[in-house]
Amino acid sequence: MKKLLFLSILSGLLLSFSWPGIGLFPLIFVAFIPLFLVEKYFLDYRGRTSWKVFGYSFLTFFIFNITTTYWVWHASVGGSIAAFIINSLLMSLAFVLFHKVKRVLGKRRGYFALIFFWISIEYLHLHWELAWPWLTLGNIFATIPEIVQWYEFTGVLGGSMWVLVINILLFIWWDSERIKKKLILPFTIVLIPILLSLSLNTEFDEDKTIEVVIVQPNIDSYDESSFNIDTFIALSESKIT
């Protein structure tokens, strides 16, 4: 029990430490592995395991949500608590559905199901009224766009899939007896997108310039009467050179 608890907390911390801010982004490629170990423990466990997997995964994702989006608390206490819980529940739902598919249909279909369920939730977060796209896994590379230039073809969800696939392959390698042979594939899948990005043209024309001003008027977003376009114009004009 303590080991499972430790693994769940570890996954949450790895996700948190990899996020922009702390910025140890390589950790994202192994962040799901401790949680995969928890799921594996319950895979052959007799009895009802879905709620147990759900509970441990919720702990992981709740830690991830709180440590990365805690600042929402300053805007709305109630809204932040709701966001932490709802998003953690959705992430946990994807993981427990993966567990159920894996248990019934086998490992391979289970891992494909995880990618499908997770990307579906991230897609939902980009389009519904309760949109919460901040924790889309593909956002992890926001501070190093040089290695994800291929987003122009796949979008940010392609980055999320990349992260999940590498975690899955590394876990399979970890869990395999033929370690050396199986390690080649994860490294190949890591390197190919990076090499593709570096090969894409990222140059820009330095002869043409444009002046951009970003202002923060510090208005109350819940008070419509406080919005005044003249405030934006005045602040912008004061900064234009």
**Tens of pLDDT along 23-35?**
798 999 999 999 9
Is residue 230 situated within a structural domain?
no
**Token reading at 57:** 């995964």
pLDDT at 185 over 80: no
Q: What is the pLDDT at residue 139?
A: 94
237 within domain boundaries:
no
Average pLDDT over residues 180-188: 64
Radius of gyration of the chain (CA): 21
- Domain for residue 162, yes or no? yes
Residue 71 lies in a domain: yes
- Domain for residue 224, yes or no? no
Please report the pLDDT score of residue 231 as a whole number. 78
Q: Give me the number of domains the chain comprises.
A: 1
pTM of the model: 0.81
Domain that holds residue 80: 2-199
21, containing H or E segment: none
Domain for residue 205, yes or no? no
Q: Which amino acid is at 204?
A: F
Task: Tell me whether residue 23 is in a domain.
Answer: yes
- Tens digit of each residue's pLDDT (9 = 90 or more) over 102-136: 988 988 899 999 999 999 999 999 988 888 888 99
Count CA atoms within 13 Å of residue 180 on its CB side.
0
